[in-house]
Structure 1
Amino acid sequence: MRFDYHMHLEYGSYDEAYAEGFFRAAAERGVYEIGFSEHSHTFPEFEQLYYDDLILDDTFVGSFQRKWLKSNKFKYTLDEYFAFIEKLRRRHKVLAGIEVCNFKDQAAVAKILRDYPFDYVIGSVHFLRGWAYDTGAIKAEWENHPLTDIYEWYTQEVEKLAAAGLYDALGHPFNIRLYRHIPDFDVTPYLERAAKVMKAANMIVDLNTGTYYRYPIEEFSPYPDFMHMARAYDLPIITTSDAHKPEDCARYNEEAVQYAYSFGYREQIRFLGARGRETVALD
């Protein structure tokens, strides 16, 4: 049975005809069940957290990020999101998730999340010291930081997310290779630190195909070194597409399953709603 729990409506709208494309693509690719995981920047409830955390000064990064926050952000409330999911449930089995950025104020995140019936919550590292490192328009900022610092900062953010105890899965783990910055040093200590805290927090690995078809690296996240570590720590997985357009829903799902098999995985997680989960065969 196949699932895809990581996708976004943000490039379209809360329109049933638009959302239907995700279900159609999933069915064409043999995926049984999907869940939307809207970015937290969709919702005005999270707006202040972005303004608190991001670099917003007059530098190259800050100038871009000020504009980014004004572009297609904070356009639907969480109440509107759940009302739309209920409309979709008249015709489909669909789960309501969310992908939350690695905010400093996890107590504020907890306060927002507790008021809504999310079926699952993905926590993802999207900022390093206030810089949206995975954004192509400001990727030149990579040249200003040693890669050892990037790995350290990223790992620290994973540790903070795990310590918060709010998240079911870590989104696209170690996607810091996405612009082909490949380390020439031993990354094992960073990978093991992340795996340890994920294990302690009962967090799932989001085996995400989005970095393959959306970024220059053309590899799945996590890349092989962390997949080996995840398997060694017996971290469970989900296979996802990170679709930002309907036609990308469940994209490369078969390849993701085979990728997981190559590391010894034979099981995956199915979300059951209301933050429940079960382990099922990976097939």
Structure 2
Amino acid sequence: MELVTTHTHTSFCGHGEGTVEELVSAAEAAGVTTIAVTEHYPLSAAFDPNAYLSMPAERVGEYLDAVQEARRRHPNVEVIVGCELDWLGADEDRVITAADLAPFELVLGSVHFVDAWPFDDPAQRDRWDELGAPDIIWRRYFDLWCDAVSSEVPFDVMSHPDLAKKFAYYPSYDVTPLYEQAAEVCAAAGRMVEVNTSGSYYACKEMFPAPELLAAFCRAGVPCTVGTDAHTPANVVRDVEQAYRLMAQAGYRTVTVPTADGDRRSIML
């Protein structure tokens, strides 16, 4: 079956490895037909003082050139110029214009911060251990996620929709209403979601989103793609076929694939 990944990273961010060329070469060798290179869009120094979480602003031009060069060198692979843009809600301290995002053919939307706290950072996870914290954090996370989906920011795909489960801290209540709300809001906004295969390698031990949330997205008619969230070329195509099976089990019959011209195409499952 055709293999695609629409969420990947490189050494342009502080926690990634490998060049764009190495990433795309690995993708082609693995039989990938479409790859979106989606480096983390720059955060301010207040959120990312060491340029570890995101790409430095002064390197954006270099990054864009590198993806275009990889596209030229690999004409048999559709290489999409993308970025992963954090939703910061009321804590947003950047001014991001339409011109700033214009070079990117695919914009992934992510929530990595809950009220300026990077809740999925292993170095800052202590708050999860506070009494009742998972109950509060999960609800706040999904509130922010739905805000991002409903915003005017041109997110094409919402990444790892239930990232709050990363460290396997779960709330005491039934999360089904959160899932249903997320699916309804996403469908109304016309956004896509992804199955992100990286979740299997964290404490939660399952892909993002959970099967129940993925099924809710399917029932709501939300298109779904697949991203490996690879931060090293070796993982560029990791578990894509398993993601396809997860989608099929949730009720999907096609994988939706963004294209470089802003359109979408489908792969039958």
* Structure 1 residues 26-65: aligned runs within 5 Å: 26-41=27-42, 46-47=43-44, 51=46, 54=47
Q: Distance in 1 between matches of 2:111 and 2:49?
A: 17
Task: Write the letter of the residue equivalent to 1:79.
Answer: G
Q: C-alpha separation between the residues in 1 aligned to 2:98 and 2:219?
A: 34
Separation of aligned partners in 2, 1:183 and 1:115 = 36
Listed as ranges, the matches of 1:89-104 within 5 Å are 89-92=71-74, 93-104=78-89
Please tell me whether residue 204 in structure 1 is matched to residue 205 in structure 2: no
Gaps of 5+ in 1: 55-67
Q: Paired residue for 1:22?
A: 23
More helix by percentage: 1
The equivalent of 2:139 in structure 1 is: 152
Which of 103, 109, 115 is the equivalent residue of 1:123? Answer: 109
Q: Deviations over 1:167-199 (max 9, x none)?
A: 111110112111111333211111111111111
Question: Quick one: which amino acid aligns to residue 169 of structure 2?
Answer: H
Give the match's secondary structure for 2:255: strand
Show CA shifts across 1:217-239 (max 9, x none). Answer: 22100011201211110111111
Partner of 1:5: 6
Alignment identity in percent?
Answer: 26
The alignment covers a number of residue pairs equal to 257
Deviations 1:67-108 (A, max 9, x none): x52144543432222122221121123111110111226795
Report the AA paired with residue 50 of structure 2: K
Secondary structure of the corresponding residue to residue 32 of structure 1: strand
Q: Which amino acid aligns with 2:116?
A: G
TM-score (norm 1): 0.82
Q: Partner of 1:139 in structure 2?
A: 125
**Aligned letter for 1:235?**
V
Provide the residue aligned with 2:59 in structure 1: 77
Q: Which amino acid aligns with 2:213?
A: F
* SS of residue matched to 2:259: strand
Letter in 2 for 1:271: P
